[in-house]
Chain A
Amino acid sequence: MKDTKIVTEALSLYYGEKMALNSVSVEIPENQVTAFIGPSGCGKSTFLRTLNRMNDLIPNVKTSGKVLIDGLDIYDKKVDVVNLRKKIGMVFQKSNPFAKSIFENVAYGPKINGINNKKDLEEIVVTSLQRAAIWNEVKDRLNHSALGLSGGQQQRLCIARTLAVNPEIILMDEPASALDPISTAKIEELIFELKKNFTIVIVTHNMQQAARVSDLTAFFYLGELIEFGKTKKIFTTPDKKQTEDYITGRFG
């Protein structure tokens, strides 16, 4: 078993009066892909967004419990959210490149972190694009707008942009839900490659995707963590009937 990277302890979250997460406790290991599955509105995306405090942006959110990353509580008052987010990259459901050139998209994060040396920036951009397996497709048009890329390329560019900040953890919120099967396969293969260097947490409502890419799977339902374990186990012999019903499509 690998070292634990993220731990949540009795993590609950409310949107106003509405409970979105109910006392979720998980341990997410380092350099593995952990997938969160469950029906829409089960709290899996909310959970993901607690890990980099993205929920802070939404008014009236109350969080209780703990989220420990490398043993440190990220909801501690002393934690600098901006620095935290540098450590935890995020890839969103809809590919969201900035209306800038491909180069500028990837260089955005490093520039914000104060890297202004042209040579250093170039190196980071090239490495990030290579790691995101999109270099060959864009190397001749780094100065073109990122918005001219296809959906799948845009999403890989967004992954490259995330990698450029050199995070330790990458959160992915349904990263392939808007893509065609070929692009999806590329993203999945990329995830598989990336886990060698990053801890990846992915939310998906595509169970097959969770099965294909993840080492561990957590099943969420109505804000509760129903079952968490090795993907192999969850998809062959789940312990809970609710999990079984969901993955076999007999839900509700």
Chain B
Amino acid sequence: MFRNNYDNDSVTFSPQGRIFQVEYALEAIKQGSVAVGLVSKTHAVLVALKRNAEELGSYQKKIIGIDTHLGVALAGLAPDARVLSNFMRQQSMSSRLLYNRPVPISRVVNAIADKAQVNTQHYGRRPYGVGLLVAGVDETGPHLWEFQPSGMVLEYKGAAIGARSQSARTYLERAFEEFVDSSREELVLHGLKALRDSLAQDKELTTANTTVSVVGIGENFKLYDGDEVGEWLEKLGNVQSSRGGRTGEEAAESMDTSE
């Protein structure tokens, strides 16, 4: 049987110059449910699909507020995301304490990138098993960054991570030119449409499984969860993937908890 000898740890290069442990960590992101982020001239939006382990269980948090100007959406190992987001909160607070300045988005993103890189170069550590979308507003405007366990960070106009995120990405690639001039509401709806496209068959967006966050110039980070998502789903109308289904209004009322 073929056995890959080069994938036991993150301090071994394969003959092709690859680090398999890091690549496997990237796979962990795809085990998580989908998260989508996008930016306009004035706003940055995150939307995500929450999952519950069993029907009577609660839904896993997908979006974490970091500061009043900044939040993250995660896909992959939630505990790793909590470690990283706590670190980001520390960075954010120390920026406010020491410089009286909300931390610039790129700086806090690069800080977690550097943290993650170390885990890919030293024995006895494992790479983080989570991907993040970081959305925020600073003095240079709204920004969206994607963070990967490899320590790679990239700034995007629109991005999607997690299971079936390719469908969402396809939507983003088709529509991204409209984002820049979108209003706050249009931007959220673009995000929800991308999210809807990544739904599995016979699944739909509900107030229970959908989560939305918005941050804008002069507007604090705001998380919409549970019933609050209802207004967005109503505006979206169709909440089912690629075939006509119930409207958002009906879905908002039904409190569907199906996985």
Bind each other: no
**A interface with B by C-beta (< 8 Å):** none
Which B residues fall within an 8 A CB radius of A?
none
